[in-house]
Amino acid sequence: MFYKRFSFQIVIRIAFLFLTLLGFTIIFGNKDLFFNQIILGIIIVGQVFELLNYVNRTNRELQKFLDAIKHSDYTVNFTSKKLGNTFQGLDKAYESIINSYKQVKIEREAQFHFLEVIVAHIDVGIISVKNNHEIVLINDSACRLLKVPKLKNWKHLQQKNLLFAETVESIFDGGKKLIEIAGKGETRSLSINVTPITLIEEPYVVITLQDINTEIEQKELEAWNKLIRILTHEIMNSLTPVASLTETILMLLENGQGSIRKSDELEDEQIEDIHFSLQTILRRSEGMLHFVEDYRKLTRIPVPEKSTISVEDVFESVRQLLQVELNRNNVKLLIEVAEENQEIFADQRLIEQILINLINNAIHATEEVDHPQITLKFFERDKEKVIQVIDNGSGIDEDKMSKIFIPFYSTKSNGSGIGLSLSRNIMNLHNGTLQVHSEKGKGAVFSLIFR
C-alpha cells in the first residue's frame, strides 16, 4: 500500500507540474500577461523543489535507517509527523527492523555474559589464542592450574610456564597430551586438549586443561585393590593346602602324647601318606615360585630400544616363529598391509612378543571353530598407526571384557594371566595403547595403536 500511495503522490505532483508548465507555455510571450508568467514561473520552481524534496525524504529516511544499523544505534525513531501519513508504513517497517536488531543484540549479549559466567566458574581451564600469539581468553581455572596471572600475550605465558607452552606448541595442529607440572610441594597431572578453529578468517587455538590427579589416584587405588585381591586369592589357594598337609604330616609323626614317633613306629601306609603330602607341598611351592616369577616379569619390562622397523618384516618373523603351532591347530594366518614399505618406530623384539601372545590367545579362541583363521592387519588412520590381530573364534564374554587386562586374570584354565597386561604395559612404554573389541560368537579384534 505504501508504494502505491507514494507513486500516487508522485503522479499527482508531476500532473500539477505538467499543467502549470502547459499554462506557462500558453501565455508565454504575451506582454499583457507578463506578471502571470512570473507567477507561473515561481510556481513551477516551487513545484519542482517540492517534488525533489518529497523524493529525497525517502532517501534521507533510508540513509538514517542504514546508519542506525551500521553503528548499532537502536535509539533512532522514525515517527516524525512532518513526513505525513504517506510515510507511516515505511516508518513502521523501519522501526520493526530496528527493534528486531535491538532484540537480537540484547539476546546475543545475554548469551555472551552467560557463557562468560560458565567459562569463569567451570573447573576446566580454557585458553584461547589468536594468531598463535594473542591470548583472547584465559579463565580463572587455567590461571589456577598454571599458577599464572591473566596474561594477554602467549610469549608472556611461555616465560611463566615453559613446559606447558612447549607441550601446547607441539600439538598446535590439534591433539591431546598429558604433562606433569611441579609446584610448591605438589605435582599436578594435566590433561591438555588443543583444538584449532577459524573465525572470520582468523586462526584461533582453543586449549583446555584439566587436573586429573584425582582420577588417576582413583584408578590407581582400584588397580591396587584388584591386584591385592588376585594376589590374596593365589596365595591363599597355594598356602591353604600346604598348611593342611603340614598339619597332616605332624599328626602322622606325633603320638598321642605329642612326642615324635620313632621310625619303627611308622607304618608303610603312614610313610606313603607323608611322602604324598611332601610331594603336594613341593608342587604348590613350585607353583608359588612360578607365580612370583610371572609377577617379576610383569614389573620388570625392559626399556624399549626403539628404531624404525618394517611392519612386513615383523609380521613375517612372527609367522615363522608360530608356523608349527598354527599348522598343529590347522589355523590359517593371513597378512594384510595396505601399502608396501610400511614402518613403525618401536622395539621389534617387544612388539613381536605382544603379537606372539595375541596370536597364541587367538589360536586358543578358535579351537572350537570350523576353518579357524587369524588375520594380521596394518593400516593408518588420522595420525595413528594400527596393527590388528583379528580372529574368528568364540569371542569374549561381555562381563570378562573389563577384566582381561588385569594382571593374573585369565579366561584359560592353565593361563598365567599376565600376557595381556604385559602386552598393554609394553604398548604404554611405546606411548601407545592396546585395545580390544569383541562380540560373543563373532571373534575378537586386538588393536595395537601407535600414536
- Domain identity same for 344 and 420: yes
Side-chain-facing half-sphere of 117: CA atoms under 13 Å:
6
The strand pair at 332-337 and 373-381 is best described as: parallel
Lookup: cell for 171: 600439538
Please check whether residue 400 lies inside any domain of the structure. yes
How far is 82 from 335, CA to CA, in rounded Å?
88
Query: At residue 143, does pLDDT exceed 50?
Result: yes
17 domain residue, yes or no:
yes
- The answer on 11 and 27 residing in a single domain is yes
Do both 332 and 207 map to the same domain? no
User: Domain with 151 in it: what CATH number?
Assistant: 3.30.450.20
Rg (CA), the chain: 44
Read off the CATH number of the domain in which 226 is found. Answer: 1.10.287
Parallel/antiparallel/unpaired status of strands 202-211 and 187-199: antiparallel
Q: Are residues 311 and 443 in the same domain?
A: yes
Q: Are residues 275 and 384 in the same domain?
A: no
Q: Is residue 352 part of a domain?
A: yes
Residue 429 corresponds to which amino acid? L
For 244-256, the DSSP string reads HHHHHHHHHHB-T
- Co-location of 292 and 400 in the same domain: no
Residues 17 and 88 in one domain: yes
* Domain-embedded: residue 195: yes
How many structural domains does the chain have? 4
Clarify whether residues 8 and 102 are in a common domain.
yes
> In 218-319, which ranges are E strands?
307-310
Residue 150: predicted pLDDT? 87
Q: How far apart are CA 322 and CA 117, in angstroms?
A: 61
CA separation for the pair 26, 29 (Å, rounded): 9
Q: Which of 162, 158, 172, 119 is nearest to 142 (CA)?
A: 119
- DSSP secondary-structure letter at 72? T
Question: What is the distance between the alpha carbons of residues 34 and 45, in angstroms, rounded to a whole number?
Answer: 17
What's the CATH number where 424 sits? Answer: 3.30.565.10
What are the beta bridge partners of residue 437?
445
Of 266 and 108, more confident? 108
Mark which of 174, 192, 211 sits at the end of a domain: 211
Q: Look at residue 222 and tell me if it is in a domain.
A: yes
Q: Is the pLDDT of residue 4 over 70?
A: no
Same domain, 443 and 319: yes
Reduced 3-state DSSP string for 175-200: EEEEEEEECCCCEEEEEEEEEEEEEC
Same domain as 313, residue 290: no
pLDDT in tens, 278-297: 887 777 777 677 666 666 66
The verdict on residue 235 lying in a domain is yes
Of 86-90, 158-162, 206-210, where does mean pLDDT reach its minimum? Answer: 86-90
14-39: average pLDDT:
78
Q: What is the pLDDT of residues 227-246, one digit of tens each?
A: 677 667 667 766 777 777 77
Last residue of a domain, one of 262, 278, 299: 299
Question: Which domain-ending residue is among 106, 132, 154?
Answer: 106
Q: Both 312 and 286 in a single domain?
A: no
Return the SS3 of 388.
strand
The reply to whether 172 and 231 lie within a common domain is no
Q: Classify each residue of 98-116 as buried b or exposed e, where b means 16 or more C-beta atoms within 10 Å of its C-beta.
A: beeeeeeeeeeeeeeeeee
Does residue 358 form part of some domain?
A: yes
pTM as predicted: 0.45
Average pLDDT, the chain: 78
Q: Is residue 134 part of a domain?
A: yes
Sequence letter at residue 130 = K
The domain of 87 spans 2-106
User: What pLDDT, on a 0 to 100 scale, did the predictor assign at position 3?
Assistant: 45
Pairwise CA distance, residues 379 & 401, whole Å: 24
| CB-CB contact of 151 with 138 (8 Å) | yes
Taking residues 33-49, report their average pLDDT: 81
The three-class DSSP label of residue 211 is strand
Residue in 368, 369, 351 with CA at minimum distance from that of residue 359:
351
Model confidence band, residue 90 (pLDDT cutoffs 50, 70, 90): low
